[in-house]
Structure 1
Amino acid sequence: MIRLFKHYVPHAALLLGLVDFLLLILAADLGWRLRASQIGFPAGTIMGRLPQVLSFAVPLQIALMAVGAYAAASFLSLRFAAARLMVAISIGVIFLSLIFFFMPSLSSWRSSLFYSMVIAVVLLVVVRGLLGRVLGGDKFKRRVIVMGAGERATQIMELARQPGANFMIVGAIAMSDEENAVSKAVHRSTIPSLGGFVIDRQATEVVLALQERRNALPYQDLLRVRTTGVQVSELSSFLERQTGRIDLASVSHSWLIFSEGFSSGRMWSAMVKRAFDIVVSLILLMVALPVILVTAVAIRLESRGPVIYRQQRVGLYNQPFDILKLRSMRQDAESGGQAVWAEQNDPRITRIGRIIRKVRIDELPQIWSVLAGEMSFVGPRPERPQFVEELERRIPFYAERHMVKPGITGWAQLNYPYGASIEDARHKLEYDLYYAKNYSPFLDALILLQTLRVILWPSGAR
């Protein structure tokens, strides 16, 4: 993986993205040339119409990222890749229409745009058919040796066996007799030269996954590996990079303290984030107002009670605030006054509520909370005080999520289905900690883009 603006991006996904962008530029140019040749118009050079070419390629590239066209499944299934491409092209048409409406100077002939779209679809599908398996194959995977053969090592083994994994295990070393969870592990005492062992297997990384850390670390072994030019990674850092989350089972206080990251509170980052929230919330409030009004009428017609549901949540630095949502449950959903986790197919949800939860319309009033500064567009989802008290007692590091302003959407919402239990909260915290640690405007933009994927392909909305 490559670290791009603090976020880890698989090499294969980055390479495919660059290839796609070049193909989109090629499609824009070929579409223009094809139409120009039909009417006898001089085609000119691509540099002479570069703004028009980029106005075609950039929105479509953004649409590809938004629908998850670079997910691991794209390298394993041509059908999956083609379906995402068609949705991305459809969304790209909407983007282009808006761009050409507000900036007519960037528009091209409609016929040439049609040709470019057709060419783009053909090129993108063909490339995925030719390169998808290759980019997702062993050639582009990191070759990893695991130093350890206990339960922590098996965790890495299981991760490598998952479809779309971008690394492969080429060896495991049992550092003691007690480590016997990996059947094919080689005992350290049988390896005369650790550097030679690593080089023979053409390893690019060694991961330290010792089961017991009470004894001294094998510094001499690690030094010999490092001097061969092979990367040495600690288990928590490796899992962070590969999974996009902070693994609570392996992480320690010292690792969180001394590792790089947690810059969301810096003045410059906070100023950029707040300026973005103000500008976008003002625009979205104007756009979303008709949708909110229509939904409010539908809610009122179906059931009695207030249209806007106000509920206390825990925000930045554990400060309480009231969150606003369009009511999606019966008015007596919590008649006893006791906070209750939502359930799958929750009977308290109304018919209109089930619809607006699926497409996240019930979240639209929270834009006001963003404008007021109580929330941000991107951040951990704020929880109710009753749940927070229990979660902080039962889950380590849970309080650290409140050092980042809560958001409407977030990294956990993209990567983990809706959860309503202690165990779900634990898994979501792992993603929230990753976001807090690796925050950047680039990660915020990526999350906002891919929120569209969650809306189009909802999973587990309750």
Structure 2
Amino acid sequence: MLRVFSQYFPSHTLQQIVFDASVLFVAVLLAVAFQVHGTTVDWRVIVPSALLFAAVMIVLNSALGLYRSTSSDGSVRSTTARVLVSILVSIPLAFGVFSVLPWNYFASEAMQISVVLLLGLVLLMRGVVNRHRATSAFAPRVLIIGTGPEAAAVARSLGSPAQGGMEIVGFYPSGNEDSIDVDPAQIVSGDHGLLEAVRQRRVHDVIVAVKERRGGVLPIRELLDCKLRGVCVMDLSSFFERAKGQVRIDSLKASWLIYGDGFRQGLARSAVKRCFDLIASGTLLVVALPAMLLTAVLIVLEDGAPVFYRQERVGQRGRVFRVIKFRSMRRDAEKDGKPRWASSGDDRVTRVGRVIRRLRIDELPQLFNVLSGEMSLVGPRPERPYFVDQLEREIPFYAVRHSVKPGVTGWAQVRYQYGASVDDAIQKLQYDLYYVKNHNLVLDTLVLFETVRVVLTGEGAH
């Protein structure tokens, strides 16, 4: 795992990005060489331009989620949708990049088309390859401390394609676990101590997958010796943060929230985020205005007024505000006055409502909440007070998500399908906590790009 701007990326992902960018860079240079036929070319202009073109294209598709690995049994539909979104967004942008680069004096239309076709081929191949297990030339060797259910969960996560084939060299028993939930053949003998096991197996990372760490069950001194010798040592919370982009509730302790890094809500960070919200939401409102006007007309034609519905939601620091959305349900959706989770295939949703929910158009009026300062463009999804009271009683640390403004879109929304239960709320909270801990302009931009992918592919629509 490599950390860039507080975000963690598997090493194999960065290798893929560098490889694909290099292919595009070389392709542009070859296209230029074949195009000019001996004519003098200022390579001092061509080389930086080709590098910029390759970097823009690959970074764009990284943000759109093309390099985020799926499981090996991922559906063909999901893979196809990702590739199509990447191609549909990249090709028009590629021609736009061509128009601003200093290539006009030599770049023919045939050359530009050739480069764009190669770009499409690279994206297509990358999408197909990412359906299968990815491997890294520098896959770290991992030793897991523990043999119980927590260790098994870590092993399952490390065995997923998204982790780039990190090699598990064994499980080191902690001494306080009653059950063995891992392969007994992979349990490492502790007769010679942890440090010796790390040396013999050339371990790069040690993951402490033990839920109960009191009572001297962990070899603290040897863990310190491992760290001092350059071995990365992490606990369950840190592992899931890096590997899954979430802060796991079942392995979370208040001390980790208090003493760990992140969770800073400084004035400078808030000011940058507010400026970003104002510029981005204002731009989106102008761009989306035709779609919003059409939606309003269709809602009135099908089910009459009102076009919008306003509902109380819990915002930053627990303050209640009224969110604005396009009405996608019947006017009598909650005629009994009892709040209910919206569900997949909900019969209260109108025909127009189904379409605007799938395309996320119903969320667009929330941009007015962003302009007024009640919401942010990116942040945890605001919930109704009725559900917040219930969830705060049942889920530890749920109130932490209210330390930042709620968002129109968020890390949980692009990483987890739509949820309509307490269990789903727990899963989404784990992503919300990651966002609260690590949010910055880079993560916000990444979420917005992934939101585009989610909207265009219809992932998680309800």
| TM-score, L = length of structure 1 | 0.90
State how far apart, in whole Å, the 1-side matches of 2:258 and 2:201 are.
Answer: 34
Deviation at 1:456, TM superposition (A): 2.0
Deviation at 1:62, TM superposition (A): 3.7
3-state secondary structure, aligned to 1:164: helix
Is 1:255 aligned to residue 250 of structure 2?
no
Deviation at 1:439, TM superposition (A): 1.3
| 8 Å CA contact retained: 1:66, 1:453 | no
The corresponding residue for 1:443 is 443
3-state secondary structure, aligned to 1:72: coil
| 8 Å CA contact retained: 1:379, 1:409 | yes
75-84 or 285-294, larger mean C-alpha shift = 75-84
* Change in 2 beyond 3 A, CA 1:211/1:426: closer
3-state secondary structure, aligned to 1:310: strand
Deviation at 1:67, TM superposition (A): 3.1
Deviation at 1:250, TM superposition (A): 0.8
* Change in 2 beyond 3 A, CA 1:394/1:132: closer
The corresponding residue for 1:246 is 247
Residues 254-280 of structure 1: per-residue CA shift (max 9 Å, x gap) = 0111111113x2122211111111112
Deviation at 1:76, TM superposition (A): 8.9
* Change in 2 beyond 3 A, CA 1:97/1:284: farther
Deviation at 1:35, TM superposition (A): 3.7
* Change in 2 beyond 3 A, CA 1:138/1:115: closer
State how far apart, in whole Å, the 2-side matches of 1:402 and 1:245 are.
Answer: 17
| 8 Å CA contact retained: 1:59, 1:95 | no
Q: 134, 137, 140: which one pairs with 1:136?
A: 134
* Change in 2 beyond 3 A, CA 1:76/1:124: farther
| 8 Å CA contact retained: 2:206, 2:232 | yes
State how far apart, in whole Å, the 1-side matches of 2:71 and 2:111 are.
Answer: 29
| 8 Å CA contact retained: 1:172, 1:185 | no
The corresponding residue for 2:191 is 191
* Change in 2 beyond 3 A, CA 1:45/1:411: same
Letter of the 1:171 counterpart: G
* Change in 2 beyond 3 A, CA 1:428/1:9: same
91-100 or 113-122, larger mean C-alpha shift = 91-100
The corresponding residue for 2:146 is 148
| 8 Å CA contact retained: 2:326, 2:363 | yes
Deviation at 1:19, TM superposition (A): 2.1
| 8 Å CA contact retained: 2:132, 2:161 | no
Deviation at 1:328, TM superposition (A): 0.9
Residues 36-89 of structure 1: per-residue CA shift (max 9 Å, x gap) = 34xx8x361332246753664344224312432111239999988787445423
Letter of the 2:327 counterpart: R
Q: 68, 73, 77: which one pairs with 2:70?
A: 73
| 8 Å CA contact retained: 1:148, 1:179 | no
3-state secondary structure, aligned to 1:249: helix
The corresponding residue for 1:172 is 171
Give ranges in structure 1 of 5+ residues lacking alignment: none
Deviation at 1:125, TM superposition (A): 5.5
State how far apart, in whole Å, the 2-side matches of 1:377 and 1:270 are.
Answer: 13
The corresponding residue for 1:237 is 238
| 8 Å CA contact retained: 1:316, 1:404 | yes
3-state secondary structure, aligned to 1:206: strand
Deviation at 1:203, TM superposition (A): 1.4
| 8 Å CA contact retained: 1:299, 1:327 | yes
173-182 or 46-55, larger mean C-alpha shift = 46-55
The corresponding residue for 2:409 is 409
Deviation at 1:317, TM superposition (A): 1.0
State how far apart, in whole Å, the 1-side matches of 2:313 and 2:424 are.
Answer: 18
Give ranges in structure 2 of 5+ residues lacking alignment: none
| 8 Å CA contact retained: 1:207, 1:234 | yes
The corresponding residue for 1:429 is 429
Deviation at 1:128, TM superposition (A): 8.0
Deviation at 1:334, TM superposition (A): 1.0
Counterparts of 1:217-236 in structure 2, within 5 Å, are 217-236=218-237
Letter of the 2:148 counterpart: G
Is 1:114 aligned to residue 113 of structure 2?
yes
113-122 or 334-343, larger mean C-alpha shift = 113-122
State how far apart, in whole Å, the 1-side matches of 2:80 and 2:51 are.
Answer: 23
Aligned length: 456
| 8 Å CA contact retained: 1:65, 1:449 | no
Letter of the 2:93 counterpart: F
State how far apart, in whole Å, the 2-side matches of 1:75 and 1:162 are.
Answer: 8
* Change in 2 beyond 3 A, CA 1:353/1:53: same
| 8 Å CA contact retained: 1:401, 1:436 | yes
| TM-score, L = length of structure 2 | 0.90
The corresponding residue for 2:316 is 316
State how far apart, in whole Å, the 2-side matches of 1:87 and 1:314 are.
Answer: 34
The corresponding residue for 1:460 is 460
| 8 Å CA contact retained: 1:194, 1:224 | no
Counterparts of 1:11-50 in structure 2, within 5 Å, are 11-37=11-37, 42=39, 44-49=41-46
State how far apart, in whole Å, the 2-side matches of 1:327 and 1:454 are.
Answer: 21
* Change in 2 beyond 3 A, CA 1:63/1:76: farther
Deviation at 1:316, TM superposition (A): 1.0
The corresponding residue for 2:93 is 95
Letter of the 1:53 counterpart: A
Letter of the 1:288 counterpart: A
State how far apart, in whole Å, the 1-side matches of 2:257 and 2:178 are.
Answer: 27
| 8 Å CA contact retained: 1:76, 1:133 | yes
The corresponding residue for 1:64 is 61
| 8 Å CA contact retained: 2:71, 2:161 | no
What is the Cα-based RMSD across aligned positions, in Å? 2.9
Identity percentage over the alignment? 40
| 8 Å CA contact retained: 1:5, 1:442 | yes
| 8 Å CA contact retained: 2:315, 2:374 | yes
Letter of the 2:16 counterpart: L
| 8 Å CA contact retained: 1:149, 1:172 | yes
| 8 Å CA contact retained: 1:206, 1:230 | yes
